[in-house]
Structure 1
């Protein structure tokens, strides 16, 4: 090929690459495009004047220990190096933690920084992984109001505006699968804001959940839709969420930490992360140690949820049935031996039988979490009622 032709090809290629890179730089993101097409999908800019308040100074629930390395961690600092490393890293996620406050503000904003720039997962949206969820009390019951949709590691967002006059009660849930380095709640300078009052005597003890990714909240669309959060609102109790994704394996070190908590009830839901052999080996020692430390606190033991492909694939159904059988056998041995105050929740009915309640066969959608809450609620009500006697 002659030199002029070669130069022309190089020039055309260079121009093409320049056009491509320029187009990419100027090209709107998917979020930009959908925001232009549908304004209701836009992430709203707070704008205006705000007075920012550290959420850690409000009524914080969902933390079992005050001596944490950072304000929104779930395990005490001394657990670092004691629990397995994956458990420790997952404990820095803020699952189950919430901040309660009252304010007469006509608008509410939030500004938060998450620990990881991985804001979402392929099967769980950023609103659940790294977002906030705001509830307001209406006629004595908690009702969803708004969520904070993260756009970067640090996000500032308007949560609600044109709020009716008066002082209202709010509950703000933190991210399920990310850590929080800083969280502030914004109100106009003229507005008052204060922590929610302390819970009445007898209602301050938490329900403590220990388990797997499902317990941690995978894959709720937003933090308030994890079944643990739903149950906290329904039963008007604080909740401590000790779900550790892929690592709910009845570790004795976690059992010792659970025993430090003065719980209203313990919910042990680990079967999905364990083999039947592990369950047979670990369940009874784990539960006996917990009962020894807390002789009268109710314990609810949960079988393995059913993998939704099991309706068609025999091997998928066999897996969860074997795990549930091991849990049930451990439960029956304990009861036969006079073990007090323990209840079993069957696993197979928890998600329903229509295959509509998960994102991947195992992790619940919001529908799945509502179904789980529906199944857990009567059992927990009975346990709490018996414990109060």
Structure 2
């Protein structure tokens, strides 16, 4: 079969020969990846724009090459769906499996219209990982492929039966939720990409989301406030306390919020407290954040909110891998807390 390039909706594909499974594979080349806030990036699945390299800390820039939060939504009636993908770094971490660090996650809408988990792609090498999933025959329905949380994604291909292309889904009706934070926000230590609390919350609320969690590096530099301000969001979620000392909270919380409010005068800003285990007292970082929100509100900063996170993982000790990073159970519990707060804001 002769190779050809063509346009389906807003998605550029390069179609090649059918594989052994009888699927026609198309390389995803377009800029309509959901969860990507900027089109001008160094690589197709980077999270920050090219111009950010000059202003953000090196650790943030390095982590911005991870594809956390990105996904590809499409509609097809193909009886089988394939995903082939390649990544650029180590497949796993000591406390987080390869399926979450470097895997992909396929969801499909059921008969009630809810996105449901279908299959996870478990990576076995950096290049050329593949999953084939049997879907429902008949009428087209929507699918969503989540990309790796803690690795750079270098190539993604979607496979469908001949004559059953992957078409653009109905457009979102609402602006995305933008999450800015730490390793927990990025997705550590979910077992698969769809189990990051950000993804769970966005699916529950039927919203797109942009994940700007940076492991160990969510420290509220003003350069990040400027970048967030470039995004047209339905709400900004600031969840950085696990990476900040008490002194950093005192120094940076108020200037960060003020800068973001200058860029986005009316968009809701939700400042999350510190999720913690077995601590009856309010952590000082949470107290400082709560007081900063109250002070900023009194000074005239509108639409600013504080979310206490006490008990977000419950107190049975089963919500984390290491006392810091949530398991899937912890992610689900944390997502429920955010959903309850976000429903009032979006």
Normalized against structure 1, the TM-score is what?
Answer: 0.81
Aligned runs of 1:185-264 on 2, under 5 Å? Answer: 185-200=158-173, 203=174, 205-264=175-234
Shift in alpha-carbon separation, 1:162–1:292, aligned structure 2, 3 A: closer
Whether 1:74 aligns to 2:47 is: yes
Whether 1:120 aligns to 2:92 is: yes
Q: Match for 2:103 among 111, 127, 131?
A: 131
Q: Do the aligned partners of 2:172 and 2:208 also contact (CA within 8 Å) in 1?
A: no
Shift of 1:338: 2.8
What's 2:236 paired with?
266
Q: Match for 1:342 among 298, 304, 309?
A: 304
Shift of 1:162: 5.7
What's 2:345 paired with?
383
Cα displacement string for residues 177-231 of structure 1 (whole angstroms, at most 9, x for unaligned residues): 000111011112232221213223xx1x110000000000000000001111011
Q: Do the aligned partners of 1:132 and 1:149 also contact (CA within 8 Å) in 2?
A: yes
Q: Match for 2:123 among 150, 157, 161?
A: 150
Q: Is the strand fraction higher in 1 or 2?
A: 2
Q: Is the helix fraction higher in 1 or 2?
A: 1
What's 2:150 paired with?
177
What's 2:83 paired with?
110
SS at match of 1:57: coil
SS at match of 2:54: coil
SS at match of 1:328: helix
Aligned runs of 1:273-352 on 2, under 5 Å? Answer: 273-306=243-276, 308=277, 310=278, 321-352=283-314
Q: Do the aligned partners of 2:180 and 2:218 also contact (CA within 8 Å) in 1?
A: yes
Q: Do the aligned partners of 2:229 and 2:263 also contact (CA within 8 Å) in 1?
A: yes
Equivalents in 1 of 2:314, 2:177: separation in Å? 24
Shift of 1:59: 4.4
What's 1:95 paired with?
68
Shift of 1:305: 1.1
Cα displacement string for residues 98-137 of structure 1 (whole angstroms, at most 9, x for unaligned residues): 0001111111111111011x10111111110000001101
Normalized against structure 2, the TM-score is what?
Answer: 0.91
Count of residues in correspondence between the two structures: 327
Equivalents in 2 of 1:169, 1:123: separation in Å? 33
Equivalents in 1 of 2:84, 2:118: separation in Å? 17
What's 2:328 paired with?
366
Q: Which has the larger displacement, 341-350 or 246-255?
A: 341-350
Shift of 1:329: 1.9
Equivalents in 1 of 2:250, 2:204: separation in Å? 33
